[in-house]
């Protein structure tokens, strides 16, 4: 999953936005084509894959309680960010975006605190 996340994010960087839009526009002109794949979904794929891979890794690594919570928070932030990317613009989307930011900030604050304690 992590490899797929890296590859899908590389595609976002390599494929020019105009080309991606053209491909997506062509898809909408073909009858009976599912509309699940759009620009937002394309950017959500690497986020969801990275978050899921990191959460699954924790089952193999089995970190201690506090470390597990920090790691699950980070993985969940990636998953939720991916979900938010696919949602239409609504107040709930904004609120969930705020939750994602809060998870990242809290996780980073805990990492900084841990590094300061170690040194």
Model confidence pLDDT, tens digit, residues 83-96: 999 888 899 999 99
Kindly report the pTM of this predicted structure: 0.78
Q: Which residue has the tokens 């809290």?
A: 106
Query: Which residues have CB under 8 Å from 31's CB, separation 6+?
Result: none
Note whether 55 and 76 are within 8 A (CB): yes
pLDDT at 35 over 60: no
Q: Maximum distance among all alpha carbons in the chain?
A: 61
For the ranges 39-48, 59-68, 88-97, 98-107, the lowest mean pLDDT is seen at 39-48
Check if the beta carbon of residue 45 is closer than 8 Å to that of residue 81.
Answer: no
């Amino acid at each position: 999953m992590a490899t797929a996340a890296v590859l899908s994010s590389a595609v976002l960087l390599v494929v020019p936005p105009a080309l991606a839009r053209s491909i997506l526009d062509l898809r909408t002109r073909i009858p009976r084509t599912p509309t699940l794949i759009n620009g937002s979904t394309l950017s959500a794929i690497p986020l969801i894959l990275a978050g899921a891979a990191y959460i699954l890794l924790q089952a193999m690594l089995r970190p201690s309680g506090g470390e597990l919570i920090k790691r699950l928070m980070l993985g969940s932030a990636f998953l939720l960010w991916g979900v938010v990317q696919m949602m239409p613009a609504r107040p709930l989307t904004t609120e969930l975006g705020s939750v994602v930011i809060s998870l990242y900030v809290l996780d980073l604050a805990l990492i900084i605190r841990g590094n300061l304690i170690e040194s």
